Amino acid sequence: MSEPIGRKRWAIAEGYIPSWSNGPEPEFLSHETASILNVSDEDAHVTITVYFSDREPAGPYRLTVPARRTVHQRFNELEDREPVPLGKEYASLIESNVPVVVQHTRLDSRQAENALLSTTAFADDA
């Protein structure tokens, strides 16, 4: 049995999916990802709410991170509700019923050579 690690509420204040890309897809498609790790023995039911600068939030988008699995969810591919717009600033709140760990990554391939950023997201105390 795996002891859980992580928290149930996470936030990523930075969000921006570049509007265009260079190179073969899907590897070099400009994208942002919330990588979610669930080491517990229970499936994690996760919601992502997307915040903007000029309108009410979108979502919640729903996904499942099965027990002992990771899901690297591209914001570009959130599809059960409206798609996340390209070239627009956003932020996100990730909530789960079991503790998970969240990391934020962007690959920017607008130019011939790609650029990367990544950070562990902010974990709520609760």
Q: Site residues (CB under 8 A) for a copy of itself?
A: 3, 5-6, 9, 11-16, 23, 27, 33, 35-37, 39, 49, 51-54, 56-57, 68-72, 87, 89-91, 93, 100-106, 108, 110-124
DSSP-assigned letters across all residues of 20-70: ---SSTTTTS-EEEEEEEE-SSS-EEEEEEEEESSSPPEEEEEEEE-TTEE
- Rounded least distance, CB 112 to a copy of itself, Å: 6
Residue (77 or 89) nearer to a copy of itself, CB:
89
Of 76 and 114, nearer to a copy of itself (C-beta) is 114
Phi, psi dihedrals of residue 76, rounded to the nearest 5°: -60, -25
